[in-house]
Amino acid sequence: MHDFTGDWLAKLEQGDSEAARVLWRQYFAQLVHLARRRIRDLPRRSFDEEDVALSAMNSFVEGVQARRFPHLTDVSDLWRLLITITSRKVNARRRKHFAARRNGGKVRGESAFDRPGESGTVGIAAAACEAPTPAFLAEVSEQCQALLDRLGDPTLRDIACWKLEGYTSEEIAERIGRNVRTVERKLSLIRDCWAE
Distance of CA 86 to the CA centre of its chain: 9
pTM: 0.48
pLDDT 10s digits, 15-43 = 888 888 888 888 888 888 888 888 877 76
Q: Which residues of the chain have pLDDT under 70?
A: 1-6, 43-46, 100-132, 136-137, 196
Handedness of CA 186, 188, 194, 196 (dihedral sign): negative
Instruction: Tell me what pLDDT residue 20 has.
Output: 83
d(CA 8, CA 11): 5
Instruction: Tell me what pLDDT residue 101 has.
Output: 63
Inter-CA distances, 68 with 63, 101, 146, 178, Å: 5, 34, 37, 21
d(CA 141, CA 64): 43
The three-class DSSP label of residue 8 is: helix
Handedness of CA 176, 178, 179, 183 (dihedral sign): negative
172 Cβ neighbours under 8 A, 6+ residues apart: 159, 162, 163, 183
Distance of CA 90 to the CA centre of its chain: 7
